[in-house]
């Protein structure tokens, strides 16, 4: 059974600071996704990582994938209040059934 | 492009009634659609996978007779919660994957179900 764990579960940080959210998964995969969810809303796609060593950046967010370590990171640079949300990683375990297994989520609060 | 809609966005019903939720891909053909359930402050849990024209595949622990899924066309899947009870109250989210968009699922806006 594929397990996907995120760390930390809760993160409170000041504006302007940098931080990293970690996503570990338990089985081989080279397809990993990051999503943002605002309260009461559905998911917004942030990044699609499809190979080992993939790195993508959008604004203050950067995501990377290390398939050998079964680890993905979401790095936040110079955080601003608008980034407050819950962030999920999700893994497609390449079992041929296209299913995504979601991480536990990281609730991020940016304090002015 | 790649827009998925859900209807209704919010529904309140009495215990024992059935509720139908629609999921539509608006600008692409969805060969596969997925239904998720999310309880407050928790992650998304996959309920079932549906492919157009075939029976849905349910995840372990999900009652197929209670959560009826129909994927009758390449742009529409429906989830019917039969004989709903308060414990079925949740946020239901669908996603869709298309032939030309195989590396990504596109998520609908979700349906908030409250069973009284």
Tell me the pLDDT band of A97, cut-offs 50, 70 and 90: low
User: How far is Cα B97 from Cα A15, in angstroms, rounded to an integer?
Assistant: 36
Residue B6 is predicted with a pLDDT of 98
Question: Is pLDDT at B98 greater than 90 in this prediction?
Answer: no
Residue A102 is nearest to which of B32, B44, B57, comparing CB atoms? B44
Q: What pLDDT sits at residue A28? A: 84
Tokens read off for B27:
């600008």
For chain A, say whether B97 makes contact (Cβ under 8 Å).
yes
pLDDT of residue B83: 97
What is the model's pLDDT at position B102?
67
Please say if the pLDDT value at position A95 is more than 80: no
pLDDT grade for A98, boundaries at 50, 70 and 90 = confident
A&B contacts, CB < 8 Å: 44
For residue A97, the chain B residues in CB contact (below 8 A) are 49, 57
The answer to whether the CB of A82 falls within 8 A of the CB of A89 is no
DSSP state of B28: S
Burial of B23 (0-12, 13-18, 19+ CB in 10 A): buried
For B43, nearest residue in chain A (alpha carbons): A104
Q: Helix (H, G, I), strand (E, B), or coil: what is residue B8? A: coil
pLDDT for residue B51 is more than 90? no
CA-nearest of A71, A64, A73, A65 to A26 is A71
Provide the mean pLDDT of chain B: 93
The answer, for B60 touching chain A at a CB cutoff of 8 Å, is: no
The alpha carbons of chain B give a radius of gyration, in whole angstroms, of: 13
Is residue A47 predicted with pLDDT exceeding 70?
yes
Of B94, B65, B67, B69, the closest CA to residue B5 belongs to B94
| Structure confidence by residue, pLDDT tens digits, B56-84 | 999 999 999 999 999 889 999 999 999 99
**Contact, B89 vs B81, CB < 8 A?**
no
Predicted pLDDT of residue A94: 65
Strands A85-92 vs A100-102: parallel, antiparallel or unpaired:
antiparallel
Taking only the tens place, the pLDDT of each residue in B22-42 is 999 998 888 899 999 999 999
The conformation of residue A51, written as its DSSP 8-state character, comes to S
Mean per-residue pLDDT of chain A: 93
């Amino acid at each position: 059974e594929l397990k996907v764990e995120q760390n930390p579960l809760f993160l409170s940080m000041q504006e302007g600071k940098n931080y990293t959210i970690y996503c570990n998964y338990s089985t081989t995969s080279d397809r990993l996704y990051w999503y943002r969810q605002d309260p009461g809303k559905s998911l917004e796609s942030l990044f699609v990582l499809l190979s080992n060593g993939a790195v993508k950046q959008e604004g203050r967010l950067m995501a990377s994938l290390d398939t050998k370590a079964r680890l993905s990171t979401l790095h936040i640079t110079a955080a601003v209040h608008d980034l407050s949300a819950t962030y999920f990683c999700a893994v497609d375990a390449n079992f041929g059934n296209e299913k995504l297994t979601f991480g536990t989520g990281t609730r991020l609060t940016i304090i002015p | 492009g790649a827009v998925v809609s859900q209807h209704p966005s919010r529904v309140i019903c009495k215990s024992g009634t059935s509720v139908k939720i629609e999921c539509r891909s608006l600008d692409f053909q969805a060969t596969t659609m997925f239904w998720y359930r999310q309880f407050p402050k928790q992650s998304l849990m996959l309920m079932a996978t549906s492919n157009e024209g075939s029976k849905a595949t349910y995840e372990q622990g999900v009652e197929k007779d209670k959560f009826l899924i129909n994927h009758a066309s390449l742009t529409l899947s429906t989830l019917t919660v039969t004989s709903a009870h308060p414990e079925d109250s949740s946020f239901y989210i669908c996603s869709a994957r298309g032939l030309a968009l195989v590396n990504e699922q596109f998520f609908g806006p979700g349906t908030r179900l409250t069973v009284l």
